[in-house]
Amino acid sequence: MWSWNPAISRLIKLPPSMMSQGWMGSDYTNDDILKESSVVNDYTHEITGEESVEGRLCYRIMMKAKEDAAVVWGHQLRWIDKKEFLVIRAELYDEDGNLVRTETGSDIKTMDGRTIQTKIELLPADEPGNKTIITIKEIRFNVPLEESFFSQQNMKNIR
């Protein structure tokens, strides 16, 4: 994976050892951004109940990592809105069963024809008072892109 760092005007190759490190100073990891693992293929899923979260009726789903899966999380608990099928809350645990972080999705709006969470908060369990907030103000889906868009040279062109 390559990353453009505008603060130092450099293109940096990220080795596998850096995949668990923070992305651009946030609580997200480089692996979170790359998303090499698949929540569908790398985990087993079980609906363990229903709960109301933030006033929305949700499925509570236990996701356990498969033995052969190359994933960061040992297991995850996700609360999925029964109406819109959006992740309203997620708890991510390490291989030892310790809570590592909690993510919440809120401010649900329709943008470019899709209903999405426009506010995502990530709270690391080991850093009380710390959090990363992503706010989506505008988004477009299915934008046609040329293959050349995904090049190292193009990463340097800040838009």
Find out whether 11 and 152 touch, Cβ atoms under 8 Å: yes
Q: Give the tens place of pLDDT for each residue, 98-122.
A: 999 999 999 999 999 999 999 999 9
Looking at residues 131-144, what average pLDDT do you find? 94
Looking at residues 45-62, what average pLDDT do you find? 96
Class of domain 25-142: mainly beta
pLDDT of residue 138: 96
Cα separation of 66 and 27, whole Å? 25
- For residues 125 and 13, the model is more confident at 125
> DSSP secondary structure string, 94-156?
-TTS-EEEEEEEEEEEEETTEEEEEEEEEEETTSTT--EEEE-S----S----GGGSSHHHHT
- For residues 120 and 7, the model is more confident at 120
Picking from 58-62, 112-116, 140-144, 147-151, which range would have the lowest pLDDT averaged per residue? Answer: 147-151
- For residues 86 and 10, the model is more confident at 86
Mean pLDDT of the chain: 85
Strands lying side by side in the sheet with 43-53: 43-53, 56-65, 75-81, 87-93, 99-111, 114-124, 132-135
Read off the pTM. 0.79
Listed residue (140, 84, 142, 76) closest to 117, CA to CA: 84
- For residues 7 and 17, the model is more confident at 7
Residue 54 has pLDDT above 70, yes or no: yes
The percent of residues above 70 in pLDDT, for the chain, comes to: 79
